């Protein structure tokens, strides 16, 4: 409940001002230490060169007008750490979306390594030139390591989502990954990083859903897999995901993209169903739950025909078909879970 209330305060501050609200208060010093540790790691290990350029037409042999798809965000969205365009998450999402839609998909990726939420305004301007039907945003890790006040970060994300929706573009946001899953971090830095990441992710979800878009929690769903098989899930820099890790992230986001475009049937009023991982909660509570349960989607819904209840906007918390569950992580689904290291 405390994390939910904190996320609600951050999101409220983002909308109404007061960016001084921070996620960790007295633990700022710990974040300074965290930033220094991460910076040293990155300086030593960041791969040479830029991410592969994956822009272009996917599923060109399919009939119909191409779906315009834009990707915005940081190095995870850009695909830093892999060497071939088809290994980037944007290309994997474009390929998957084309197969689901039965139409070509034209990909425009404006994400850049090192990006923080403040650059989203420029990225949106660039993306809108392609008139996207749908956009995916993956952002937040660099805001945490740079100690940007969460309310400031969320305000930039909120503005980006608002502009995209106003242009008729559907939006899916992959929330801030759990930096506590980064292998080199030791306690107490691991706990500090985890807390800051999850609070920002929850606040991002509240702002995104209030605007009418969807969020998908990237969190630490691959935490156990990264720890058990770092050579498989990390790229050579031992910080960003490998091709297998990026494929996992794409599989977590793709079902929500399909739903946003109406390619997956939507139930008008989803009611709680534990067997399907479905719940209906006030958005700030759903956001906090999603931050703890990677792979979960949060989207606005109605209860008894109303968007809002006594504690705010209603939201569904669900794991869509194709998104992996934690209890499946040791089986085949371990290969379709999102990576936690989308920083820098």
Rounded Cα distance, 84 and 88, in Å: 7
**Model confidence over 24-50: pLDDT tens digits?**
444 454 554 555 455 445 544 554 567
| Alpha-carbon torsion, ordered 233, 171, 111, 146, to 10 deg | -80
Q: Which of 98, 240, 242, 256 is catalytic?
A: 240
Which residues are CB-contacts of 189 (< 8 A; sequence separation ≥ 6)? Answer: 30, 33, 34, 37
| Burial class for 40, CB neighbours closer than 10 Å (0-12, 13-18, 19+) | exposed
| Burial class for 200, CB neighbours closer than 10 Å (0-12, 13-18, 19+) | buried
Among this protein's residues, is 242 annotated catalytic?
no
Q: What pLDDT does 321 receive? A: 60
Which pLDDT band holds residue 62 (cuts at 50, 70, 90)? very high
Q: What pLDDT does 208 receive? A: 95
Q: What pLDDT does 184 receive? A: 55
Rounded Cα distance, 339 and 261, in Å: 24
Q: What pLDDT does 80 receive? A: 84
**Model confidence over 200-235: pLDDT tens digits?**
999 999 999 999 999 998 876 545 445 445 444 444
Q: What pLDDT does 49 receive? A: 62
Three-state SS string across 249-288, please?
HHHHHHHHHHHHCCCCCCCCCCCCEHHHCEEEEEHHHHHH
Among this protein's residues, is 240 annotated catalytic?
yes
Rounded Cα distance, 125 and 262, in Å: 25
Among this protein's residues, is 75 annotated catalytic?
yes
Query: Phi and psi (nearest 5°) for 313?
Result: -65, 140
- Average pLDDT, rounded, for the chain: 76
Class of domain 2-336: alpha beta
At residue 324, the 3 state secondary structure works out as coil
Give the H/E segment covering residue 123.
helix 120-128
Q: Which of 156, 220, 237, 242 is catalytic?
A: 237
Which residues are CB-contacts of 231 (< 8 A; sequence separation ≥ 6)? Answer: none
Closest CA to 77 of 122, 141, 156: 141
Rounded Cα distance, 210 and 206, in Å: 6
Q: Which of 74, 75, 117, 143 is catalytic?
A: 75
User: What tokens were used for 278?
Assistant: 């479905």
* pTM recorded for the entire structure: 0.80
Query: Phi and psi (nearest 5°) for 33?
Result: -60, -45
**Model confidence over 311-338: pLDDT tens digits?**
888 998 887 765 555 444 333 222 222 2
Rounded average pLDDT over 62-73: 97
The residues spanned by each domain of the chain are 2-336
């Amino acid at each position: 409940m405390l994390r939910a209330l904190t996320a609600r305060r951050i999101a409220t501050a983002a909308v109404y001002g007061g960016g001084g609200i921070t996620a960790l208060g007295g633990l700022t010093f710990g974040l300074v230490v965290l930033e220094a540790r991460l910076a040293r790691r990155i300086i030593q290990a960041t791969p040479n060169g830029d991410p592969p350029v994956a822009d272009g037409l996917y599923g060109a042999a399919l009939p119909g007008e191409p779906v315009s798809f834009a990707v915005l965000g940081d190095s995870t969205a850009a695909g830093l750490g892999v060497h071939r365009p088809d290994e980037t998450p944007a290309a994997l999402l474009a390929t998957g979306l084309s197969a689901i839609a039965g139409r070509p998909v034209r990909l425009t990726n404006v994400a850049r390594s090192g990006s923080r939420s403040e650059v989203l305004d420029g990225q949106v301007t660039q993306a809108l030139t392609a008139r996207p039907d749908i956009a995916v945003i993956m952002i937040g890790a660099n805001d945490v390591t740079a100690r940007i006040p969460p309310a400031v970060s969320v305000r930039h994300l909120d503005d980006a989502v608002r502009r995209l929706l106003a242009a008729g573009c559907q939006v899916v946001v992959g929330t801030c990954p759990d930096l506590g899953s980064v292998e080199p971090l030791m306690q107490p830095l691991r706990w500090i990083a985890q807390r800051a990441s999850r609070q920002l992710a929850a606040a991002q979800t509240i702002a995104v859903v209030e605007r009418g878009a969807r969020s998908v929690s990237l969190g630490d769903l691959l935490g156990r897999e990264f720890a058990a098989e770092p050579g498989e899930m990390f790229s050579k820099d031992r910080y960003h995901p490998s091709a297998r890790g990026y494929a996992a992230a794409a599989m977590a986001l793709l079902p929500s993209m399909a739903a946003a475009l109406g390619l997956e049937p939507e139930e008008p009023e989803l009611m709680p169903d534990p067997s399907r991982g479905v719940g209906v909660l006030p958005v700030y509570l759903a956001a906090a739950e999603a931050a703890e349960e990677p792979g979960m989607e949060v989207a606005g819904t109605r209860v008894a025909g109303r968007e809002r209840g006594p504690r705010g906007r209603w939201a569904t918390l669900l794991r869509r078909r194709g998104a992996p569950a934690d209890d499946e992580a040791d089986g085949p689904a371990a290969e379709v879970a999102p990576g936690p290291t989308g920083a820098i």
